[in-house]
Amino acid sequence: MLFHDVVSATLPAILPIATVLLIRQIDHSFIVSRDTWASHYDYIIVGAGSAGSVVASRLSENPNVRVLLLEAGGSESIISEIPIGAISVQTTPIDWKYWTEPQEASCFGFVGRRSRWPRGKVLGGSSAINFMVYVRGNRNDYDNWAYNMGATGWSFADIYPYFLKAEDNRDPYYAYNGYHSTGGPLTVETPPDPTPVARVWNEAGRQMGYRVGDLNGKFQTGFMLPQGTIRRGARCSTAKAYLRPARKRPNLTVVTFAHVTKILFNAHKKAVGVNFVRFNSHYTVYANKEVICSAGAVNTPQLLMLSGIGPADHLMEMGIAVLSDLPVGRNLMDHIYPSIHFYTEEKVTLVQHRVINPVTLLTYIAAARGPLTSLGAIEGIAFIHSKYSNKSDWPDIQLQFISGGPSSDMGGHIRKAMGFTEEFWDKVYKPYLQYDSFSFYPILMRPYSRGYIKLRSKNAMDAPVINPRYLTDERDVHTLVDGMKLCIKLGFTPAYQKFRAKIYETVYPGCEQYLPLYSDEYLACMARTYTQTIYHPTGTCKMGSVYDPTTVVDTHLRVKGVHGLRVVDASVMPLIATGNTNAPTIAIAERAADLIKGSVRKPYRPP
């Protein structure tokens, strides 16, 4: 037996053990959940995700306040700690494993024309399965919320102090540049060992005429190698950042595997508690002050509707008594992308068998370095303007550079996680299995298409109906096509041509009639065939003025028409942020915790 065969056979066993050792070294104890709880608390928080973990931790800083945090999932998987493995936890038990409804105008290359929607079902929520890219969004996003959309108090100056409060930036290049902070719970680092194809990302940006710099700083438009929510090379979820340090507080109880099925109200429409199911047993707990719903942009609207808060016609159709008639579940937005792939004969990208081997494992364990620290292979980011974007420094496209492609694991897990049809896989990716590939994702930042979340049934255990209605507004296709053209140009810059890279030549099934390859019509067909989510559902419990009929929560995130109930998670964003949504959700939760406590930080706008 060759050494290589021995390694391949024992690797599945070595990897978890090695990871446990590493985690032990990093965090001595990470048991935060309990098996017993009281009947009454001051605050009950539903969902220990990006937002819920923050709110629970901040509220329980006051020893006189009793907080219960209920989470449907369990603890983080040891595999999810390793940044490069981000996609490998999809479809495992820590993922809700949602699918959208069949899409009428998109997703033609996916099984059943459905988009796979992973969401974290675990302490840390989606921050425990995400790709860890740290982006705060654009100043204009928040100013637009505050000044044009009725979300008074959520301008950039209002929220900026909360990005700083959360952050512990450990890269001196960023930490002290005037736009970041140190000492917060959420560790932000720069992955230390980019691949050769990532190292030329900024150079390619310059060759295209863009600036290079901190895209969380003064300007957003430009190129950079991304920072991520990682700590010493391992994932820093909000469970690690906020719950582990609070685990010894006697006034904070965290209960895992607790699936909340209903919010309970008294005769005065005040939320007084919740029902939840844990290991097939049913329980009720009561809140003296408030119930805070942080179940995310899919499950929060589901839970509200199950509890009688939602569109009256839909609730009546489901046989649910209407407590407050609100547009819950509407205004669903997400970020999507098609992909432009290149291939090369050079060994310069992240290919599975070169990424996971004894040397890389030892490097990771001993020094927290090497390819395993890569943010799920996202090694470059940029924000650019398509020809349809006319406002300065409010880009409408984010680019992500992936040092790999769907064929980089030889047709293993990635293809399943993306949900490709057999035909799409065979025709587009299979021919490139023996090459190194890299990919450019042009991501649509402010889609015009809007979708919805509805109940499938009255049963809380049934997945809700998710219909993002991707690309139902033609303008979204036009923007993507322009973004794809920029991606093609990037691949042909001298920086990437050093690798003698060639663009994929395989034809998308169903797009043959739009040939030649990469014509505008063909690109549009590609976008409608490979319509991939970057996993940012938002907006389903829109925040804004109480008088606006499209809003669900007011500017203090209180649900309209009832008392003692707030929503704190990604669902409150009135318009999706320009960028990845984890850091914005955490900042929203930080500010919400202060709103609940009654004193918010002084607004500050950096130069």
Ligand X SMILES: Cc1cc2nc3c(=O)[nH]c(=O)nc-3n(C[C@H](O)[C@H](O)[C@H](O)COP(=O)(O)OP(=O)(O)OC[C@H]3O[C@@H](n4cnc5c(N)ncnc54)[C@H](O)[C@@H]3O)c2cc1C
Residue 583 binds ligand X, judged by CB under 6 A: yes
User: What's the DSSP call for residue 100?
Assistant: P
Taking contact as CB under 6 A, which single stretch among the options 20-28, 103-111, 389-397, 580-588 is the one that binds ligand X? 580-588
Q: What is the DSSP string of 435-504?
A: SEEEEEEEEESS-S--BEEE-S-S-TTSPPEEE--TT-SHHHHHHHHHHHHHHHHHHTSHHHHTTT-EE-
CA distance 181 to 186: 10
Q: Are strands 324-325 and 309-310 parallel, antiparallel or unpaired?
A: parallel
Single out the residue of 70, 304, 402, 575 in contact with ligand X (rule: CB under 6 A): 70
Residue 121 binds ligand X, judged by CB under 6 A: yes
CA distance 234 to 21: 12
The least distance separating ligand X from the CB of residue 297, rounded to whole angstroms, comes to 6
Tokens of 206: 């310059």
CA distance 321 to 314: 11
Residues contacting 477, CB < 8 A, separation 6+: 471, 524, 527, 528
Instruction: Considering the complex, state which of residue 403 and residue 585 has its C-beta at the smaller distance from ligand X.
Output: 585
In SS3 terms, 229-258 reads as CEECCEECCHHHHHHHHHCCCCCEEEECCC
Single out the residue of 83, 85, 109, 125 in contact with ligand X (rule: CB under 6 A): 125
Residue 243 binds ligand X, judged by CB under 6 A: no
The least distance separating ligand X from the CB of residue 95, rounded to whole angstroms, comes to 8
Instruction: Considering the complex, state which of residue 119 and residue 330 has its C-beta at the smaller distance from ligand X.
Output: 119
CA distance 436 to 428: 15
Residue from 380, 362, 95 nearest 233 by CA: 362
Catalytic annotation, pick one of 282, 353, 536, 556: 536
Residue 572 binds ligand X, judged by CB under 6 A: no
Tokens of 138: 């654009």
Instruction: Considering the complex, state which of residue 129 and residue 477 has its C-beta at the smaller distance from ligand X.
Output: 129
Taking contact as CB under 6 A, which single stretch among the options 166-174, 364-372, 511-519, 578-586 is the one that binds ligand X? 578-586
Residue 380 binds ligand X, judged by CB under 6 A: no
Residue 566 binds ligand X, judged by CB under 6 A: no
The least distance separating ligand X from the CB of residue 571, rounded to whole angstroms, comes to 6
CB 304 within 8 A of CB 566: no
CB 479 within 8 A of CB 124: no
Single out the residue of 187, 360, 529, 581 in contact with ligand X (rule: CB under 6 A): 581
Residue 139 binds ligand X, judged by CB under 6 A: no
The least distance separating ligand X from the CB of residue 272, rounded to whole angstroms, comes to 17
Single out the residue of 66, 165, 528, 536 in contact with ligand X (rule: CB under 6 A): 536
CB 256 within 8 A of CB 69: no
Q: Which residue is nearest to ligand X (CB)?
A: 49
Question: What does the angle CA 104 – CA 106 – CA 112 come to, to the nearest 5 degrees?
Answer: 70
The mark string for 292-321 relative to ligand X (x by CB under 6 A, - otherwise) is --xxxx-x---x------------------
The mark string for 258-297 relative to ligand X (x by CB under 6 A, - otherwise) is xxx---------------------------------xxxx
Q: Max Cα separation, the chain?
A: 73
Tokens of 548: 């606006």
Which residues in the 487-526 window bind ligand X by CB under 6 A?
none
Q: Is 556 among the catalytic positions?
A: no
Strand partners, 117: 98
Handedness of CA 377, 379, 382, 387 (dihedral sign): negative
Single out the residue of 83, 109, 118, 405 in contact with ligand X (rule: CB under 6 A): 118
Residue 47 binds ligand X, judged by CB under 6 A: yes
* Single-letter residue type at 329: G
The least distance separating ligand X from the CB of residue 482, rounded to whole angstroms, comes to 24
Single out the residue of 19, 33, 50, 437 in contact with ligand X (rule: CB under 6 A): 50
Instruction: Considering the complex, state which of residue 332 and residue 495 has its C-beta at the smaller distance from ligand X.
Output: 332
Residue from 227, 250, 229, 224 nearest 239 by CA: 229
Single out the residue of 72, 215, 315, 587 in contact with ligand X (rule: CB under 6 A): 72
Single out the residue of 80, 100, 103, 127 in contact with ligand X (rule: CB under 6 A): 127
Single out the residue of 108, 131, 394, 438 in contact with ligand X (rule: CB under 6 A): 131
Residue 71 binds ligand X, judged by CB under 6 A: yes
Binding residues for ligand X, total number by CB under 6 A: 43
SS3 91: coil
* Single-letter residue type at 361: L
Catalytic residues: 536
Residue numbers at the binding site for ligand X (CB under 6 A)? 46-52, 70-73, 118-122, 125-127, 129-133, 135, 258-260, 294-297, 299, 303, 535-536, 569-570, 580-583, 585
